[in-house]
A and B are shown apart, each in its own frame.
Chain A
Amino acid sequence: MEPFRRLKSKAVPLDLVNIDTDQIIPKQFLKLVHKAGYGKYLFYDWRFDSEGKPREDFVLNNAIFNNRQILLTRDNFGSGSSREHAVWAIRDYGFKAIIAPSFADIFFNNCFKNGILPIRLSQQEVKYLFQIIDNAELDINLPSQEIIVTGPGNSRVLKFEVEESKKMLLIEGLDEIGITLHCDSYISEYEERNNTKLPSGDKV
């Protein structure tokens, strides 16, 4: 996984609460068997009309927001389906961080497995960012857990919380399975200790 330490970018505002993963990546694009190539389907039904033409009123189709790597949104982002395709689409499109007051649990976890940093800020801080978003430059520093926001004529530092082990995974770009396999002795001990006689499936 690509490590994440620092990111300087402007942000794209997506001003709606409870955006579910069905919107982030509609089901018609879940049939692929690989992890790459989902960026073109990100927010597909919001981005394109029934003839596949870009909808002018959707934020990702606004040229001033091109090439921005931070998504700014509202409460409960990523609710609903567990589909990790939502995070793959966000990553593949070019976003590396998402800022919101809150995230849905499964989506939040999926982000860290894919090098995406989800940042929770207070309602006030998110509101402030929405107000200055068009011209503000954000400098996200994961090791120091702060965002330096440089707006027209002023700058401000926002601190954020991130759980220690998740931070480490991102900064080092670690393979979590590799770490767990180093715990093999604990797993084997557990299996011996808990011979719970769970019935098992027949082999094919």
Chain B
Amino acid sequence: MTTFDTIWNNHLVHTGGEGGLHSRDGGPSLIYIDRHLIHEVTSPQAFEGLRISGRKVRRPDLTFATMDHNVPTDNRSLPIIDEVSSTQIQTLVQNCREFGITLFDLGSPDQGIVHIIGPQLGITIPGTTIVCGDSHTSTHGAFGTFAFGIGTSEVEHVLATQCLWIDKPKTFAINITGVRKNPHTVTPKDIILSIIRRIGTAGASGTVIEYRGDTISKLSMDQRMTICNMSIEAGARAGLITPDQTTFDYIKGRRYAPKDAEFDDMVDYWQENLKANRNAHFDKSVSVDISGIAPQVTWGTNPSMTVDVTESIPYPEEFAKGNEGEAKAAVRALDYMDLSPGVHITDVPINRVFIGSCTNSRLDDLVEASLVVKGRRVSPNVRAMVVPGSQQVKLEAERLGLDIVFKEAGFEWRESGCSMCLGMNPDILARGERCASTSNRNFEGRQGVGGRTHLSSPIMAAAAAIEGHFVDVREWL
């Protein structure tokens, strides 16, 4: 069995038949949800639904909330100027109070992006099912969980029943082989971007990806989270990595994780039951050799539109490889991005830099970015900001003096939140601005109407801030 199959079987509540959503052709199964994370944007309508139907939250003790999507990242002591955002934030406070849910609110030292604080607080532990009304819930798969994003109707369903009806996804093994020659400059972000570039944005639709191989085993938890985070960008339902000693060491001692003898028992259980099974059958598999990959930069309006930093922007037909629809999308993307085929990606001037998001705002990411920042200055043509993923990450980074490194170089050092990844708060691109961003989506308008996004790793974005355009950081370290 695959790790996913084990987790799935452990969480089957009901497989149809009497009283369920039964069906002749298999149909969905009722799955128990161990952890439900909620935030201010996709939950208000779910709570409203509960109130209208007179229902309660079945397991408030398994539900955790924070506010991250539209929170300001500047001075927290000031009132929020955007009234609508403020209402949404207040609504979450009231809902958590009414239904008895633990909330890490704006003033909490544990506030942060929901996918950063879950692992950090030990809420995310191996073998569990985790959902959140956010597609990047796949991040938690780094701990050997089945973690996936859901819509607001499903948020309401989980609040009311602690379960979900799900069609069992297929399994997809991505075997990562090879050793990176430059592990400081060719990063997990480059690995996952190169995978999405290869399999496409719908390449993993209907599947749960299991990332396998020695390369994965050698990554830190922060790095594994970057990879699992972007599983959704390949269309996957979820992505996961079998837990190992690195996972257990990370979890040990965290606030909501099992403690002492209970922890040891759980580790025994995880080692015995979730271990990588070399003979497991997957519905689909692919091998990716990463020994030769270069730093990756996106040029278009979805994360598969990516080139090596050494390459030029492709011609639509070159990108589309015979697919008419993709060629048409590429023409549109070039127009939106105001780019011409044949132009070297390092010749495109950048005027904004964003280091943050649930993909790349953990301590490892900030340390990585700082490697090229120390002793250098942000280009006068660039406005650059660092938005740590959580208040805890911010504090840890400040203990290491990273805030000083970034500020001395001319970066803004912000409070935690989703920030410019999706621009629901005041951190947005102006029309025509071009941003090197460590986030996960380069969709049209994602970071601001008319804004242009190039996705990259933290170290690549940091170097772009210094030079005012992308550079091959392998030449710097």
Residues of A near any B CB (own CB < 8 A)? 15-18, 20, 22-23, 26-28, 30-35, 45, 50, 74-76, 79-85, 87, 102, 104-106, 109-110, 113-114, 163-165, 168-169, 175-177, 179-183, 186-187, 190-191, 194, 196-204
Assess whether B45 is in contact with A22, with CB atoms less than 8 Å apart: no
Q: Which of B133-181 contact A (CB under 8 A)?
A: 133-135, 149-154, 156-157, 160-163, 165, 167
Q: How does the 8 Å CB contact mask read for B193-224 relative to A, with 1 for contact and 0 for none?
A: 00000000110011000000000000000000
CB contact under 8 A between A202 and B102, given known A33-B45, A102-B202, A163-B167: yes
B60 touches which of A74, A182, A203 (Cβ 8 Å): A203
* Inter-chain contacts of B21 with A (CB < 8 A): 165, 168-169, 176, 179
| Contact partners of A183 in chain B: CB under 8 A | 13-14, 19-20, 30, 161, 163
Q: Name the A residues within 8 Å of B82 (CB-CB).
A: 31
- Check if B444 sits within 8 Å of A45, measured CB to CB: yes
A138 to B301, CA, bound (A): 33
A113: which B residues are within 8 A, CB to CB?
151, 153-154
For residue B443, which residue of chain A has the nearest CB? Answer: A22
Can you list 10 residue pairs at the A/B interface with Cβ under 8 Å?
A22-B444, A31-B82, A35-B45, A84-B151, A109-B151, A163-B25, A165-B165, A179-B19, A180-B165, A197-B262
Closest-CB distance, A193 to chain B (whole angstroms): 10
A74 to B326, CA, bound (A): 10
Which of A17, A106, A110, A175 meets B325, CB within 8 Å? A17
Report if B253 contacts A (CB, 8 A).
no
* A50 and B450 in contact, given A16-B332, A110-B151 (Cβ under 8 angstroms): yes
User: With A186-B30, A201-B62 given, can you name 13 additional A-B contacts, CB distance below 8 Å?
Assistant: A22-B445, A30-B424, A31-B84, A84-B151, A106-B149, A165-B22, A168-B21, A176-B153, A177-B156, A177-B161, A179-B21, A181-B160, A183-B161
Which residues of chain A are near B23, meaning CB under 8 Å?
163-165, 168
B446 touches A22 (CB 8 A): yes
What 0/1 pattern do residues 95 to 116 of B give for CB contact below 8 A with A? Answer: 0110011110000000000000
Name which residue of chain A comes closest to B137, CB basis.
Answer: A82
**Contact of A187 with B102 in the complex, beta carbons under 8 Å:** no
Q: Which of B85-93, B362-370, B405-413 contacts A (4 or more CB under 8 A)?
A: B85-93
Closest chain B residue, CB of each to CB of A190: B13
List the B side residues contacting A106 at CB < 8 Å. 135, 149-151
Residues on the B chain within 8 Å of A110, using CB: 151, 153-154
User: Is the CB–CB distance between A79 and B100 below 8 Å?
Assistant: no
Chain A residue with minimal CB distance to B12? A190
* Residue B24 CB within 8 A of the other chain: yes
Residues from chain A with Cβ under 8 Å of B28 in the complex: 163, 165
Interface of B is mostly: loop
Chain B residues lying within 8 Å of A22, measured Cβ to Cβ, are: 422, 441, 443-446
Contact residues in A for B154 (Cβ distance below 8 Å): 109-110, 113
CB <8 Å contact, A204 and B101: yes
Q: Are A187 and B163 in contact (CB under 8 A)?
A: yes
Contact of B361 with A by CB under 8 A: no
Within 8 A of A (CB), among B4-29: 10, 13-14, 16, 19-25, 27-28
Query: Cβ of A180 and Cβ of B25 under 8 Å apart?
Result: no
Contacts of A169 in B (CB 8 A): 21
Q: Which of B24, B87, B96, B201 has the most CB of A within 10 A?
A: B201
Chain B positions within 8 Å of A194 at CB level: 10, 32
Task: Decide yes or no: A105 and B235 within 8 Å by CB, A33-B45, A84-B151, A203-B100 being known contacts.
Answer: yes
Measured in the bound complex, the distance between the Cα atoms of B123 and A177 in whole Å is 26
Q: Which residue of B lies closest to A101 (CB)?
A: B325
Say whether, besides A75-B202, A110-B151, A187-B162, A33 and B48 are in contact (CB < 8 Å).
yes
B-chain residues with CB within 8 Å of residue A27 when the two chains form the complex:
422-424, 446
List the B side residues contacting A50 at CB < 8 Å. 431, 449-450
What's the nearest-Cβ distance from chain B to residue A76, in Å? 4
* B398 partner residues in chain A, CB cutoff 8 A: none
Complex Cα–Cα for A16 and B153 (A): 28
The A-contacting residues of B in range 51-106, CB under 8 angstroms, are 53, 55, 58, 60-64, 69-70, 82, 84-85, 87-88, 91, 96-97, 100-103
Whether B149 contacts A190 by the Cβ 8 Å rule is: no
In contact, A83 and B237 (Cβ under 8 angstroms): no
Q: Is the CB of B443 within 8 A of A20?
A: yes
Residue contact B153 to A76, C-beta cutoff 8 Å: no
Closest to A107 in B: B151
Alpha-carbon distance between A68 and B2 when the two chains are bound, in angstroms: 46
A31 and B67 alpha carbons, distance in the complex (Å) = 13
Q: Is the CB of B161 within 8 A of A180?
A: yes
Query: Complex formed: what's the CA distance from A110 to B46 in Å?
Result: 13
Q: Which residue of A lies closest to B97 (CB)?
A: A204
Q: Which residues of A contact B55 (CB under 8 A)?
A: 177, 181
Within 8 A of A (CB), among B436-465: 441, 443-446, 449-450
